[in-house]
Amino acid sequence: MPITALNPGQQKASGIASDGAKPAPKQLAMRYDARAKVTGTAKYAGEFRAPTDAVYAFVVQSTIPSGSIASIDQAAATKSSGVLAVITPFNAPKLPPANPQPPARRHITVLQEREIFYNGQPVAVVVARSLPEAIQAASLLRITYRQTAAKLRFRERLGEARPPKFPGREPAAQTRGDMAAAMSKGTVRVEQTYTTPYQHHNPMEPHATLAWWEGGKLNVYDSTQYIAGDCMTIARTLGIPTDNVHLECPYTGGGFGCKGSTWSHVILAAMAAKVVGKPVKLALERPQMWGPVGGRPTTVQQIKLAATQDGKITGVQHDVIVHTSLMEDFLEPSADQTRMLYASEACATSHKMVDMNLGVATFMRAPGESNGTAALETAMDELALALKMDPVQLRLTNYAEKDPGSDKPWSSKHLRECYEQAGERFGWSKRNPQPASMREGNKLIGWGMATATYPANRSAAQALVRILTNGHAFVGCGSQDLGTGTYTIMAQTAGDTLGIDPRLVEAKLGDSTLPKAPASGGSQSAASICPAISAAAMQAKLKVAQLAINDPESPLHGAIVADISASDGRLFLSSSPGSSDSYADILSRNGGKAVEALGSTEPGEDSTAMSTHSFGAVFAEVAVDAETYMVEVRRIVATYDIGTLINDTTGINQLEGGIVWGVGFALHEESHLDETYGRYVNANLAEYHVPVNADIGKLDVTVLNIPDIKFNPLGARGIGEIGITGTAAAVGNAIFHATGKRIRNFPITLDKLMNA
């Protein structure tokens, strides 16, 4: 089936010069896991069975935001039907002293303390034969607390903001150039404050863990974005060797960052399994996704932009305040993109945090750049208006030819082409710059745009490739597939390097016994594991080639390795393509055994010498009802510079998913905190609004597909997160263009528009 039939919005760019010469790899037109997903045979953590029947654990959460547990009366709960154990801080097995270390350090509460840091903190686990029995018994626990004053009003505590105790990717505060001079030189200024709300990831599959012990060995099925890190954190927290933990996760039903760390329920499931001596299944209920498993911090962002009359930005200042928990600092680096996105004489950025009685925040799709671009790209729209300059022109006027923050060259940057291509597809040149100038009957029409950007990350990874005697292949890598397409690109990359049809390649991931891969976070999986797979496949291919060279019966006998290529399951001589031999024949004549190789790759030395980022341009059209201010996003046109697009189907789908989330960020998404009691009042999918199909108009997503071969041999940068960046601002800027009303408090709901 042609790929374009699956993705009507997708068309390859043409006529754009390529930085590299590598042809696009042969693609798997259908998702590797499509059949398993649609037929329901794909199993998720909570659906697995242990060797013996599992029992069920239910997490009991604190009902106060701050203080300590005074007592727990568990008599009635313990006697309740089916109950096997009631585990509380008064009787929980003692774990070694907390040793929260990277990779994904999180301070988790696992019944080792009586102190309460937030409302919703796990305070007990009830284990019973069935889930209803566990829930029933949980309701019978009598817990008394000593309550203390809670810090829950973020906006009233901004004065207490302090620098983070731990740095993020980059220093929390940074200044470049002479800010005072630059700000006074710029005669056109924008100085505004933008706010973004608490948000909580809600993948289709909530967190779930199935755990059982075999002596000192722990077996775990867990829904995770990071097999290796999950294993390591479980082992360290429980005080057992990492090798004693076997973890499996063949499918992750979405993650978006919340499954990048190991949270309390995972440890509690293992602890409960130890206590009752049986396999324990622990799945979080939907409302439990708000609090104990992270979320996106709320932000207040102050931006100052100064420019000369010709639109040249002289100075930019971006000061961010986020909330954090009392247990641990998590920094949402919302000003990071402001350091690198536009050229300017001077730039000052800072991040501070306010301690709150809330659960630890964590990575949530494009942590930093999602809400950071929402603020910065709205401010840029305001500057364009003040300058009476076209918003695209303003961005081109301040185009950064190298990274202004690090002063390093880009590994590859084609943002200019993104503006051009998306602008043309959108019809931007027909825009009347005057706000509130386009009307269709009762609808106010607006066109807005913004820049998208996200860093290109890459980590060390390993993979195993095996060429089988039947000419098929196997690729194994301890990565994980969040529904993003990891299986698909694994099979594709191995097949492409081996010259074997990717449909004949079996891919296995999601098992801690496989070669180690990094977290599927920071948009790094494809860029990290594909080079390792490619390297493994290359070595496996060479091993078979060597067998053929040494084999008098082979047409390749005596050939030199450099002359051997592979295609359609055969090795052949480049100098004489008629001379060929199939993998299957070579292997059957030479011992009849599969041949395998391990590939191990890491970022090249170049990675520190260059700045590696992806870019994009997002254009949005909205229709706003002139009376009700109901906003309809009619269409979004976006073009991205993400290096090589490894797979059209899964890649474009990821970008589209990010854009849909960006629309939700702009219009819908917000966790409403009860600032007296400290729980989120809309902790369910009925009241936590996210876009549905009816909220998303036409999406036209294209990529330039220009390989970034300085970043990695495949030229591919990650694409998991960039789609959400820029989108919220593009929608907000379109709403301003439609109505003349600027809402700086996301989400842009109709009450805010009506009262503006």
Q: Which residues are at the interface with ligand MOS (CB under 6 A)?
A: 225, 255-257, 260, 363-365, 367, 521-522, 721
Nearest to 303 by CA among 414, 200, 380, 232: 380
With both helix axes pointing from N to C terminus, report the angle between 727-739 and 369-387 in degrees, rounded to the nearest 10. 30
Side chain identity at residue 482, one-letter code: L
Q: Which residue is nearest to ligand MOS (CB)?
A: 257
Q: How would DSSP label each residue in 435-491?
A: TT-EEETTEEEEEEEEEEEEE-----EEEEEEE-TTS-EEEE-B---SSSSHHHHHH
Q: Three-state SS for 179?
A: helix
CB of 134 to ligand MOS, least distance (A): 30
Quick one: 254 or 471, whose CB is closer to ligand MOS?
254
What is the spatial distance between Cα 631 and Cα 443, in angstroms, rounded to a whole number? 9
- 420 HSE (CA, 13 A, CB side): 10
CB of 596 to ligand MOS, least distance (A): 31
CB of 520 to ligand MOS, least distance (A): 7
* 56 in Cβ contact with 280 (< 8 Å): yes
Catalytic status, residue 721: yes
CB of 457 to ligand MOS, least distance (A): 9
What is the spatial distance between Cα 756 and Cα 752, in angstroms, rounded to a whole number? 6
Give the contacts of 40 (CB within 8 A, at least 6 positions apart): none
Q: Which two tokens stand for residue 545?
A: 């080639």
* 689 in Cβ contact with 748 (< 8 Å): no
Quick one: 378 or 457, whose CB is closer to ligand MOS?
457
Q: Which two tokens stand for residue 474?
A: 């196997």
Q: Three-state SS for 635?
A: strand
Quick one: 367 or 483, whose CB is closer to ligand MOS?
367
CB of 102 to ligand MOS, least distance (A): 14
CB of 199 to ligand MOS, least distance (A): 12
Q: What count of other Cβ atoms lies within 10 Å of the Cβ of residue 677?
A: 13
What is the spatial distance between Cα 190 and Cα 178, in angstroms, rounded to a whole number? 18
Query: What's CA 88's distance to the chain center, in Å?
Result: 34
Q: Three-state SS for 80?
A: coil
Q: Which two tokens stand for residue 455?
A: 């860093």
CB of 581 to ligand MOS, least distance (A): 44
Quick one: 472 or 516, whose CB is closer to ligand MOS?
516
Nearest to 600 by CA among 541, 673, 515: 515
Nearest to 504 by CA among 21, 16, 28: 28
Nearest to 464 by CA among 521, 500, 517: 517
**How many residues are recorded in the chain?**
756
With both helix axes pointing from N to C terminus, report the angle between 486-498 and 525-549 in degrees, rounded to the nearest 10. 30
CB of 224 to ligand MOS, least distance (A): 11
What is the spatial distance between Cα 75 and Cα 86, in angstroms, rounded to a whole number? 9
CB of 188 to ligand MOS, least distance (A): 35
Give the contacts of 326 (CB within 8 A, at least 6 positions apart): 117, 118, 151, 355, 356, 357
Quick one: 74 or 484, whose CB is closer to ligand MOS?
484
Give the residue carrying structure tokens 């395998």: 596
Quick one: 257 or 471, whose CB is closer to ligand MOS?
257
Catalytic site residue from 170, 205, 621, 721: 721
Quick one: 480 or 702, whose CB is closer to ligand MOS?
480
Quick one: 9 or 485, whose CB is closer to ligand MOS?
485
Is residue 464 within a helix (H) or strand (E), and if so which, with residue range? strand 461-467
Phi then psi dihedrals of residue 443, to 5 deg: -105, 130
> Is-cis flag, bond preceding 292, omega within 30?
no
Quick one: 260 or 372, whose CB is closer to ligand MOS?
260
Q: What count of other Cβ atoms lies within 10 Å of the Cβ of residue 626?
A: 15
CB of 720 to ligand MOS, least distance (A): 6
Q: Which two tokens stand for residue 434?
A: 């005057």
Quick one: 19 or 328, whose CB is closer to ligand MOS?
328
Q: Which two tokens stand for residue 513?
A: 């016994």
Give the residue carrying structure tokens 């940074």: 174
Q: Which residues are catalytic?
A: 721
